[in-house]
Structure 1
């Protein structure tokens, strides 16, 4: 994969990770009783859906140039990025096991994308 394609793939994974935080904020903003109009007025939910739509288009563009077997392992980085962002921005705990697992995933991504 070219450096540009790797950077675009990493940006896509970061966007998916940010989308997860937006989904969490959307869930926290939802009332107990869900109705269509409350979903349509949930700005967190709308922002997350828009980001996921844009990220999906970017992912399709990435897959035009990269084999899935090389691009997809990068999505594993979200298993480290999401908990780290949740810790930074949502105050959720970050355990050493998450960091250790994330390090193993990063090693796997490097190994899988090595050319």
Structure 2
């Protein structure tokens, strides 16, 4: 989930580097976009490996942690605001992940 979260920050940087008039070259040669796609490729392979060794009902709730990790990383690395409601929602997600993981 950390790789997916970091990939979201890279996608944000890629989007910030594109102008309205950017042609296909702006997309194809965007280093941020290339990095994000490569990271997503690697994390997808890792996810498939995880699913070989864990049940989906145990592994998947951890993907919800990205809803907390992404805003926190965006706060620290992109200077985006971090709101109390985001943190409270993240705490609920942590509770839900803990509950789902303990139910096994």
> Could you tell me the TM-score, scaled by structure 1's length?
0.87
Describe the superposition over 1:79-113 as per-residue Cα deviations: whole angstroms up to 9, x where unpaired. 00000000000010000000000000001101101
**1:107 maps onto 2:87 in alignment:** no
The 5 A counterparts of 1:79-94 are 79-94=67-82
**What is the Cα deviation at residue 22 of structure 1?**
0.2
> d(CA) in 2 for partners of 1:66 and 1:21?
27
Mind listing any 5+ residue stretches in structure 1 that lack a counterpart?
Answer: 1-12
Question: Which residue does 2:43 correspond to in 1?
Answer: 55
Number of equivalent positions: 103
Q: Which runs of 4+ in 1 moved over 2 A?
A: none
Mind listing any 5+ residue stretches in structure 2 that lack a counterpart?
Answer: none
**What is the Cα deviation at residue 31 of structure 1?**
1.5
Question: Which residue does 1:46 correspond to in 2?
Answer: 34
Describe the superposition over 1:17-74 as per-residue Cα deviations: whole angstroms up to 9, x where unpaired. 0000000000000021232211111000000000000000000000001111110000
> Could you tell me the TM-score, scaled by structure 2's length?
0.96
Question: Which residue does 1:68 correspond to in 2?
Answer: 56
> d(CA) in 1 for partners of 2:70 and 2:41?
18
**1:22 maps onto 2:10 in alignment:** yes
SS in 2 for 1:32: coil
> d(CA) in 1 for partners of 2:95 and 2:15?
32
